[in-house]
Structure formats: C-alpha cells, structure tokens
Chain A
Amino acid sequence: MPHILEADNLVKKYGEFAAVDGVSFDVEEGEVFGLLGPNGAGKTTTISILTGVLEPTSGTARIGGHDILQEAQTVKQISGLVPQDLALYPTLSARTNLEFFGRIYGLRGKELAERVADVLGVVALTDRAGDPIEKYSGGMKRRINIAAGLVHQPRLLFLDEPTVGVDPQSRNHIFESVLQLNRDRGMSIIYTSHYMEEVELLCNRVAIVDRGRIIALDTIRNLIAVLGGGVIQLGLERIDDDMLSAIRALPAVNDANRVVPPAPAATAGGEPPSPAAPTQEPNLVKIESKRSQDALVQVIGYLNDVGVAFTSVQIFEPNLESVFLHLTGKSLRD
C-alpha cells in the first residue's frame, strides 16, 4: 500500500522548548491513523506542521509524494484540516461558510454548489444550511467544522480532536461520518484524540505521543499485546498475607496485591460523607495475569478450597489507556 504521508524527524522548537521533538511516521493510503496523547503532547503542533500552518524548525514530510515545504500548494490541494477549535464565521450561514472555503480552494459555479451540497449531506445538516452557525448546537457546529475540511474532497484529512465538547449523539454522528468517508470514499484520515475509546474504535494504527515524541506506534492489537494480559479485581469476605501468597503462587497469576481503598472524600461543604453513600469494599484484591480467564478459574478454585466467599468480580481487559499508563506512568487525561 503506498504512503499518503511520510513524516521524517519533524522538530518544532519555541526557544529551547521542543513542542515536537523528532516525530517520524508513515500513513498508508486509505488508512485511519490515530495520534493519541494527552493535552500538550504535541499532536496539534505536529498536525499544524503537516498542514502548512506552522513551519518546522527542522525535518520534512511528504504528502501524496509532495514535499510539504517545496510543493506546499499541491499538498494543500490534496489535504484538508478540521481544527480542534471551531474555525468558522459564526454570523454567516453554514452554506456561506462552506462556499467561502470552497472558493478559497478554487471551486466555482456548479462544482462548488455540488460539493457544498455533498458535504452538507455527509454531516446531515442540509436542512439547517441557511441558518447562521451561531444558532447551531455545539455538536452541529462541530459537524459543520468537519464539513468545511471536506468541501474540496481531500485525499488526506486531518481531524484534530473533533469531538471535544460534543454530546454523545453528535459524537456518534461524527464517528459514522469518519468511517463513511474512509470506507466509501477511500479517504485517508489522521485522527488525533486524547480519548482512547475513539482511537480504538476508528483507527487501524496508532502513534502514542508524549512530550513531543512518538513513544509507541503500531496496530492497536500489537500495542495492547505489550501488556500481555489483563487485571482481575476481586472483593473477598476476608484476606490475609498467607492467602495473597497462595494466590500469587497459582500458575496463571503474575501478581496479586491488596487494593488500598481511597480515603472517604469530604463533601464540598467539608461535612462527612452521607451514611447513605455506598461504603468501599474493605477486602479488594487486584490480580494481574497474562490469561485472565485461566487465572480467574484457578483463583475461584483456591477460594473454594479455603472456604472464602467472594463478593464481587471485575475483569479489566487491557486497552490503550493501560498501554499509555504502562509507557508513560501517567493517565491520558493527566
């Protein structure tokens, strides 16, 4: 599969601070590629370089085989950006906004009208096209923001955190639009987010970005395989050190530890928690295992042998959140 994008050692510095620090990656034609990282990781700066908004301090990239600096005009015709912020004119109607951006891309007359009608259909806002954008809901504004990036039919679309502040219904609509553009029109998409669920749902491959660097890049399956398994959390009738040692010794178990419940939080007014609030389970045990199902069977067998009942069971399958935690030691939402 040919590459629609090849980024090579991109660097963007502001004084001594490197917002992007040697980023290299490739995106295949027709792929949905994710850039996952917390706020401030360098995702938007990377996209801004690739879309010609910012000049890199060093490094280069090619889009559709064209150098982003030497052949900027060609690159801009084949790529589109949906910025994180609503980059629209709120007092103008959706149609006027789309027509304006279409004209800037060189579209005229019938072709412009057809493209505008098409993208309004993609984001399902044809009926409201004449309304000023300032009268739209947050989700509708996001959808028109996407439409403005599609009006010139780019081969590569950059979607920068397109669901921030969006209600669940609009979020689902955006997901459907992204999948439809990729599936039906073969559009390559680079999707940045700090929502692990979105990237898992939409992307074929993911680059995990932290502090301006790509710290991991692979398919989601392969990234998760780094962790090698999941976590079982059991609530027990009682637990002691001998029992923990015995559980650790089971063949399918890697490790087992008591979970220290967090201290009860005071209410906003500084009063003690309400007696009606659910109490924390005192005897929680976290069991790490490469094969969660096998480990669960063995642990339950052991508990039957020692006559200890369990009060709750939760199985946490590994995901990108836990991969990020594993790689950086911090949460995506930190």
Chain B
Amino acid sequence: MRWIHIGLKDLKVTLRDRSATGILLAMPMLLIVILGSALGNLAANISKMPVAIVNQDEGDVGAKVTDAYFTDSSLTKLFLAKRMRDPLAARAEVERGDLAGVLVVPHDFTRRLNTGKPSRILVYTDPGRQISGTVFRSVAEGISTQVSAASIAARTAAFYAKDIRVSDPSFISAVIGKAVQSASETKALDAVKLEETTAARGKEIPMVSYYAGGMSAMFIMFGAMFGAFSLVRERDDWTLPRMMMTPATKMDIVGGKMLGVFMVGIAQFAVLYAFTSAIGVQWGDPVALWAVAISLVAAATGMSILIAAVGKTTRSVSGLAQIVIQFMAAVGGSFFPVSQFPAWLQPLHYASVNGWAIDGILEVMRGGGIASVVPSIVALLAMAFAFFALGAWRLRWE
C-alpha cells in the first residue's frame, strides 16, 4: 500500500502550498461569481442564434414561410438557420444544447390552409436560452399571424369572387375590404395555430450555474498541471530517485502520484460544490453529478501523467500545460457556452475534457439523471485511460 502513502503525501504537500490552493480554489470561486454575474443575460446575445427549420409541407406555403429565415435580411441577422428534414433529430440537437430552437412546418400545412381548416407551426425551444427562445418564438408568431391573415384574405376573396363580374372594379375593392376585415377578426387569426413546446430538460440554467460547471472543469485541469509539476519536480529535486531506491516500485510511485492528483481534484470539486451551492447554484442529481465529476478528475489525472511525460522539465511542463488547459477550456466551453460558437467550431468541444465534462454537468443541472450522463462519463474515462497509457509509456524516470 505504498502508493496510498505517496498519494496522501502529495495531498498534504498541495494543501500546504498556499499559492496552489489559491489557484485551485480561490480563483475558480472568484471567476464563477464574476463571470456568472457579469454575463448573466449577455451570453444569449453574443452571436446569432443557431436554429433549425424543418419544412415538411407538401404544398408551397411552407416553403414561403421557411425561406424567410434564409432570405430575409432582418432574420438572417438574428438567426443562424439550417434546414433539417427530421424533426426528431432537430429536437435532439436542441436537447443537447446545440440549437436554440426548431421550427417545424407540418406536411399538410398548405392543404389545410386551402381547405379552410386550422393549421399549425411547431416551435421547440431550449429553456436554457431564455432570450433566444423568446426571440425565436416571437418571430414565429409574427409569421403565423401573417400567414393566417393572408389565408383568410385569400379565402374570403375567393368566396366572393365567384359572384363578381371582372368589369366592375368597385366590387373588387369591396371584396378586398371584406377580406381585410375578416382577416382582422380574432377568431380568424387562429387559422394557423402556433404550437410551442420547450425541450423537456427541466429548468433554465443561470450563467452563474453554467460557470460553476465551466470553471470547475477548467481548474480541475489546472490541478492536473500541479500534478505534472509535482512529478517532474520530484525527479529534479531527487525525491523521486530517493523513492526509487526504497522498496516502492515504479507502479507504486505512479499510482501514488495519480492518487495524489485524484484526491486533490476531488477535494477541489467538493469545495467548489459546497461554495457554489451556498451561493444558490442548483447542481441537480448528486449521484449523476459526482459520477461526472469523478470521471472528469480521472481524465485530469491521466492528463497530468501525460504532461509530465511529454514536458520533461518544470519549464516545459508549465508551457505545455498552459497551452493544453487553455485550449481545452476555450473549445470545451469553460469560458463561453459552446452553443455560442460558430457551427464549424462546435464539434471541437468533443475533443476536450472540459467539453464532455460541461456537457455532463449541464445535463445534470437540467434535471438529467445518471443515464443521461453516460456518454460524458464514458468519454471522460476513455480519455483518462488513453492519457494514462500514453503518459506511463513515455514517462522518463532518470
């Protein structure tokens, strides 16, 4: 059990290091409060809202309605719209947080309008993006109103036109007036009904909660940097050779070092969890959350061995760790929500520890349970294993 003593020693060394505890605990607390407060309602407006338009209409009215999202300059300034065919796939993207909303025009939309039957447009929004959802919904409402009015006007005109003689222009005017009058009646506006649902992901996530997850992920990765430092420094300071000349095996030493990083990460998350809960962050199901957190810390622990193996000296470890951590934090969404990134950049967050961890944490915050975070846990544990295997293979002992 020598590895346990090595791990406990590392935990003690880290806890005695005031600068380390300051960076690993005080900094994330500060940033969660500052970023959460400062960006509380701004995040949704930072860039165009990503939405999907699904037109299943077999007639031509659906196309006219949906084309506006791609051709009308006032709408293209607001939305980054993409066409999708499958409404279920589009809803799944909203649930994943990749889209702010989906507009679905059903297949019988034109037919029902032409036969005077009520039709509907379905709007599906992300509750985590309150502002985006409101804007998207308002625009859809406006469109549905226009379509309703046009539909009623056309039907009214058609009703009276069968009795008119084309040579009588004053009668045509009267027909149009009648159509407008009909179109303005409240009941008539219901010809197209806006059917709105929101993603079934529970409550909205305030930005302070978002940053509780984002900063926790980033600073647990910083903890991994300290772990990498610790391993290289032990080599330079001769405490590693001193351990190597004891009966401790290399596996004991690596295992102990990993245990140290792991315990520091868990302690870090526990403190941040307690602090953020005290300021009102609602993390959700603790079992699912801690499953994600433990997987995150495991990935960070594996990363520490890999950085120590590649870095070789404290200076190179520092430089390498900064690059890796900042990159992962940036693309993974620790600084800004991934949904605010351009579409081409968003998939990159799957390449980062932070991305998977934040996905999992947000899922739990939205009310998800352990089953909903399995993809994040599997991805993080796979990263942990890959980082450790590569690191242990490349680690220099002399």
Listed in ascending order, the chain A residues whose CB lies under 8 Å from chain B are 48, 51-54, 73, 76-77, 79, 81, 83-89, 91-92, 96, 100-101, 103-106, 132, 148, 152
Tally inter-chain residue pairs, CB-CB below 8 A. Answer: 63
The verdict on A81 contacting B245 (CB below 8 Å), with A103-B2, A104-B2 known, is yes
Q: List 6 A-B contacts (CB under 8 A).
A: A48-B241, A73-B247, A83-B242, A100-B9, A104-B248, A148-B242
- Min CB distance A78 to B, Å, is 11
> Measured between alpha carbons, how far is A52 from B241 in the docked complex, in Å?
9
Q: Which residues of B contact A106 (CB under 8 A)?
A: 2, 247
> Measured between alpha carbons, how far is A188 from B237 in the docked complex, in Å?
26
> Measured between alpha carbons, how far is A291 from B18 in the docked complex, in Å?
65
In the bound complex, do residue B238 and residue A91 qualify as a contact, i.e. CB atoms below 8 Å apart?
A: no
Q: Which residues of A contact B238 (CB under 8 A)?
A: 83-87
Q: Which residues of B contact A104 (CB under 8 A)?
A: 2, 5-6, 243, 246-248
- Min CB distance A96 to B, Å, is 7
> Measured between alpha carbons, how far is A73 from B250 in the docked complex, in Å?
12
- The interface residues of chain A, by DSSP majority, are classed as loop
Q: Which residues of A contact B398 (CB under 8 A)?
A: 53-54
- Min CB distance A93 to B, Å, is 10
> Measured between alpha carbons, how far is A319 from B277 in the docked complex, in Å?
73
> Measured between alpha carbons, how far is A57 from B149 in the docked complex, in Å?
90
In the bound complex, do residue B2 and residue A89 qualify as a contact, i.e. CB atoms below 8 Å apart?
A: no
The answer to whether B287 has its CB under 8 Å from any CB of chain A is no
In the bound complex, do residue A96 and residue B6 qualify as a contact, i.e. CB atoms below 8 Å apart?
A: no
Q: Which residues of A contact B6 (CB under 8 A)?
A: 104
Partner of B239, one of A88, A105, A152: A88
In the bound complex, do residue A87 and residue B2 qualify as a contact, i.e. CB atoms below 8 Å apart?
A: no
> Measured between alpha carbons, how far is A240 from B12 in the docked complex, in Å?
74
Q: Which residues of B contact A73 (CB under 8 A)?
A: 247
Tally of chain B residues near chain A (CB < 8 A): 20
> Measured between alpha carbons, how far is A330 from B14 in the docked complex, in Å?
47
In the bound complex, do residue B244 and residue A53 qualify as a contact, i.e. CB atoms below 8 Å apart?
A: yes
Q: What 6 A-B pairs have minimum CB-CB distances, sorted nearest first?
A: A87-B238, A91-B16, A87-B242, A51-B245, A85-B238, A53-B241
> Measured between alpha carbons, how far is A89 from B16 in the docked complex, in Å?
11
Listed in ascending order, the chain B residues whose CB lies under 8 Å from chain A are 2, 5-6, 9, 12-13, 16-17, 237-239, 241-248, 398
The verdict on A101 contacting B246 (CB below 8 Å), with A89-B13, A91-B16, A91-B17 known, is yes
- Min CB distance A269 to B, Å, is 37
6 A-B pairs besides A85-B238, A91-B16, A104-B2 with CB distance below 8 A are A73-B247, A81-B245, A83-B242, A86-B238, A92-B12, A132-B16
> Measured between alpha carbons, how far is A73 from B239 in the docked complex, in Å?
18
In the bound complex, do residue B242 and residue A81 qualify as a contact, i.e. CB atoms below 8 Å apart?
A: yes
> Measured between alpha carbons, how far is A135 from B12 in the docked complex, in Å?
17
Q: Which residues of A contact B13 (CB under 8 A)?
A: 89, 91-92
> Measured between alpha carbons, how far is A53 from B16 in the docked complex, in Å?
28
In the bound complex, do residue B246 and residue A83 qualify as a contact, i.e. CB atoms below 8 Å apart?
A: no
Q: Which residues of B contact A132 (CB under 8 A)?
A: 16
- Min CB distance A160 to B, Å, is 10
Partner of A105, one of B16, B241, B246: B246
In the bound complex, do residue B12 and residue A77 qualify as a contact, i.e. CB atoms below 8 Å apart?
A: no
> Measured between alpha carbons, how far is A285 from B9 in the docked complex, in Å?
63
In the bound complex, do residue B9 and residue A89 qualify as a contact, i.e. CB atoms below 8 Å apart?
A: yes
- Name, among B238, B242, B244, the residue most crowded by chain A CB atoms within 10 Å (CB to CB): B242
Q: Which residues of B contact A51 (CB under 8 A)?
A: 245
> Measured between alpha carbons, how far is A89 from B12 in the docked complex, in Å?
10
Partner of A96, one of B12, B242, B244: B12
Q: Which residues of A contact B247 (CB under 8 A)?
A: 73, 76-77, 104-106
In the bound complex, do residue A53 and residue B245 qualify as a contact, i.e. CB atoms below 8 Å apart?
A: yes
Q: Which residues of A contact B242 (CB under 8 A)?
A: 81, 83, 87, 101, 148
Q: Which residues of A contact B244 (CB under 8 A)?
A: 52-53
> Measured between alpha carbons, how far is A132 from B244 in the docked complex, in Å?
24
> Measured between alpha carbons, how far is A152 from B245 in the docked complex, in Å?
12
- Min CB distance A70 to B, Å, is 15
